[in-house]
Structure 1
Amino acid sequence: MSPAYRSLSSRIVSLWLGLLLLLIRVYAYEKISNETLNALPRPNDDFDIHNGALLSPILRTRVPGTPGSTAVLNHFADFFRTTLPEWTIEVQNSTAKTPTSKGKEVPFRNFIATRDPPWASAGDVERLTLVAHYDSKIEPKGFIGGIDSAAPCAMIMHAMRSIDAALAKKWSAMKEQGLDEPLEDAHGIQVIFLDGEEAFKEWSDTDSLYGARALATHWDDQFYPAMSEFKTPLSSISLFVLLDLLGSKSPTIQSYYETTHWAYQNLAALEKRFKSLKQFKSSSTDSWFIDSGKDGHKLTPMGGIQDDHLPFLAKGVEVLHLIDYAPFKGFPSVWHTIDDDGEHLDTETVEDWGMLVTAFAAEWMELEGYFDHPATIKGRSDQDSAEAEAIRLNKKTEL
């Protein structure tokens, strides 16, 4: 067999294995019930632009390397340390010269928070990864960036707080049932708030995505122990969900990647269910997800939208890009203007996004039956939860 033929055969085998894994994942994706959707925690006043515990501290200028950036970074750290103490947090640091730094190195700090099953080592955990950038543009002076991307950061924070107790309950049930082997359903979740997405002068390959480029390179060079399930932190990302420019009324979200179109469609299905249950506050009746009815082979090409996902996509990470962009219309009208502030956010849409991201994460992590609300949990013992988890896992293996 020639080397070229062996190489072709290897690629074909890899392709078939990849398709098989995708089919297994789609098959194993367990929907959450309407009861759970109705009972998911709401953000209440957390998205209030003046006093909201999650959003208001982010609504300030936060150019990399400035006191505003440090204040927002501390807000993230304080939130996870006090509200979600079981999460592991870290800051990945890098520096780079920018077109406006006059030869000086500007610091960029990516915030990373991770929640893994307590029995699993890092190299054996596949993680859903929710991402937004937290920096703001240097111009126009005083730019806040409500949709870009203070609100997306707050949405993710709300979602993680909302599912944390259910995660703990699920993993406790798995341990009770003896299902806490290192490779048994080892799925975790991860949050990344990236620094330096915005250009300092004019968008280019070198003047943009500072934090994303640094983190993707760092994780590509960081190897887990030899016998781990995954080779690097990049390969352990099951899905990289990037939220950007979200918080304006009646958003338009396209699907850009065939391999993650099924996840996009699941998100669209959750939106439809929320609306049918009258659990959305915003008045839009049209679906936000305009490609939900399309075949994955017939998606609109990416169209040149550059964002923090690109360095990860280039290294083989699966991406779901949630960005408000309408064909023939473009980005929301406040994009990169001084009007992109808290006052121009549509609060009801922001809250609906928070609920939708919560439901998507809960469904991905298969948390049905683990939320503390009377319709599903009241009177249910840990043994009942453990037995239910054993039945669910058994069904997942029946392919």
Structure 2
Amino acid sequence: MRLGQLSSQALVNSFITFLPALTGAYTTLSDASLKSLPDPSADFDIRNGKLLAPILIPRVPGTENSLKVLQHFTDFWSNELPDWKVEYDNSTAATPLSNGKEIPFRNFMATRDPPESRPGEVGRLVLVAHYDSKISPEGFIGATDSAAPCAMLMHAARGIDKALTKKWKHMEEKKKNTEANSKDGKDYELEDDEGVDGDEAWNRGVMVLLLDGEEAFDNWTDDDSLYGARNLASTWEQTYHIAGSHRRTSLSSIDLFVLLDLLGSKDPMIPSYFKTTHWAYKHMANVERRLRDLGIMKTGKRPTSKQFLPETDKTSAQFGWGGGIQDDHIPFLKRGVEVLHIIPAPFPKVWHTMDDDGEHLDMDTVNDWAILATAFAAEWLELEGYFDTKGKRDVKTEL
């Protein structure tokens, strides 16, 4: 990613093409549910942590290490989250350094939609990070950029999986009761959030999207960057659902595109970048504040601790035109997708240096981002009441 400029027209298109579908459908988690969220610490050990350690290797597109990391993602979902649908988006492109040779780029997608839902009816929260690393300097790891964000999203997917299963089972039972009572002539109505065909809560899914080829091989240009994102956005724009679907294409199935990048360094400051998703930024900031108040976030114990997302009071007049950070969201933003970009400004000091490795991660910050991503996804998917809160420790008093 790099600092850059977007044309005013591109930003206008992103604001007016379609508005977020779920601005009014967002249920906060109770304190008990927040306390029940799993602690990611053990899985993020930089040497043997189950989620993070396998990604902390150079992983330039087209290399053996890139395939190893892709296999790590595949094995994780196959072994731990078998109810998710795993897919790959494969493409090739010549780069400025490949002497005309086509380099393979492989995007990884893991999706969990409600049972028996139709693709053209489902709107998804899409949680995104890139997994490739820069070709130079040689041996560059890219721990914040973006090995740690990939592991954070793996943790979030696992953290919400059982609650999703419980919710959808409950909704299916209610739906069957509704149908049975309708046949008996009884007057029975579903609660507002229960699932019926076409109901918003029933047709809401989630995807983890891990993109390849974000980094430039030589110097950042429109052609030498965002290889995986550019291919996927174009493909989804041209992938149509059956006639009569509420959502015309795979691209329009994205309700919110949440991109995590450059996360894992101490004291990040995340601005609110886009006016049309400021409401989602405020939701994430609110759950962050509550996690801090409950003593769940480890960085909250520090005397100088600051909120990661401080711009909740930003006004419409404070959102500019034309400026932005070039990152994997750009091909989607230009096509009208609503984007919540979670990237610090300024960038971490380790950015694009050999110091962006596991040893330079601030592990309390990494831990807190993993929990925050899980909580935000759980609230978006309205999972309150579906977490196991029995016997959970009083986090605030124990820390």
Could you say whether these structures have the same fold, taking a TM-score greater than 0.5 normalized by the shorter chain as the test? yes
2:294 pairs, out of 277, 287, 292, with 277
Matched, 1:268 2:285: yes
Q: Deviations over 1:243-274 (max 9, x none)?
A: 00000001010111111000001111111111
CA RMSD in angstroms, aligned pairs only: 1.8
Moved more, 102-111 or 294-303: 294-303
1:304 is paired with a residue whose SS is: strand
Matched, 1:346 2:362: yes
Q: Which amino acid letter does the alignment assign opposite residue 43 of structure 1?
A: P
Q: Deviations over 1:297-345 (max 9, x none)?
A: 422556331000000001110000000113xxxx110000011000000
1:241-256 paired onto structure 2 within 5 Å: 241-256=258-273
1:121 CA displacement: 1.3
1:153 CA displacement: 0.2
Note if contact 1:255-1:300 (Cα within 8 Å) is conserved in structure 2.
Answer: no
Partner of 1:206: 223
Note if contact 1:291-1:299 (Cα within 8 Å) is conserved in structure 2.
Answer: no
Q: Which amino acid letter does the alignment assign opposite residue 340 of structure 1?
A: D
Note if contact 2:18-2:336 (Cα within 8 Å) is conserved in structure 1.
Answer: no
Partner of 2:40: 43
Moved more, 294-303 or 136-145: 294-303
Partner of 2:332: 312
CA distance in 1, matches of 2:195, 2:270: 38
2:292 is paired with a residue whose SS is: helix
Partner of 1:391: none
CA distance in 2, matches of 1:227, 1:304: 36
Q: Deviations over 1:328-382 (max 9, x none)?
A: xxx1100000110000000110000000000000000000000012179xxxxxx
1:157-176 paired onto structure 2 within 5 Å: 157-176=154-173
CA distance in 2, matches of 1:297, 1:361: 29
Partner of 2:386: 370
Partner of 1:332: 348
Show structure 2 runs of 5+ residues with no match. Answer: 1-14, 176-193, 393-399
Note if contact 1:35-1:375 (Cα within 8 Å) is conserved in structure 2.
Answer: no
Q: Which amino acid letter does the alignment assign opposite residue 26 of structure 1?
A: T
1:28 CA displacement: 2.6
Partner of 1:379: none
CA distance in 2, matches of 1:256, 1:322: 9
1:147-166 paired onto structure 2 within 5 Å: 147-166=144-163
2:215 is paired with a residue whose SS is: coil
CA distance in 2, matches of 1:74, 1:132: 16
Q: Deviations over 1:32-91 (max 9, x none)?
A: 111111111111300000000000000000000000000000000000011000000011
1:280-299 paired onto structure 2 within 5 Å: 280-282=297-299, 283=302, 284-299=304-319
1:303 pairs, out of 301, 323, 329, with 323
Q: Which amino acid letter does the alignment assign opposite residue 200 of structure 1?
A: F
1:53-72 paired onto structure 2 within 5 Å: 53-72=50-69
Q: Deviations over 1:270-290 (max 9, x none)?
A: 111111111111235222113
In structure 2, do the counterparts of structure 1 residues 83 and 253 end up closer, same or farther at CA, with 3 Å as the change threshold? Answer: same
Note if contact 2:298-2:364 (Cα within 8 Å) is conserved in structure 1.
Answer: yes
Partner of 1:360: 376
2:239 is paired with a residue whose SS is: coil
Note if contact 2:47-2:53 (Cα within 8 Å) is conserved in structure 1.
Answer: yes
Show structure 1 runs of 5+ residues with no match. Answer: 1-13, 377-399
1:292 CA displacement: 1.4
Q: Which amino acid letter does the alignment assign opposite residue 266 of structure 1?
A: H
CA distance in 2, matches of 1:302, 1:74: 39
Partner of 1:183: 198
Note if contact 2:18-2:337 (Cα within 8 Å) is conserved in structure 1.
Answer: no
CA distance in 1, matches of 2:230, 2:42: 35
2:87 pairs, out of 77, 85, 90, with 90
Q: How many residue pairs end up in the alignment?
A: 356
CA distance in 1, matches of 2:141, 2:106: 19
CA distance in 2, matches of 1:83, 1:294: 40
| Structure with more contact order per residue of length (Cα contacts < 8 Å, sep ≥ 6) | 2
Partner of 1:143: 140
1:162 CA displacement: 0.4
CA distance in 1, matches of 2:371, 2:155: 8
State the TM-score, normalizing by the size of structure 2: 0.86
1:240 pairs, out of 252, 257, 261, with 257
Note if contact 1:120-1:183 (Cα within 8 Å) is conserved in structure 2.
Answer: no
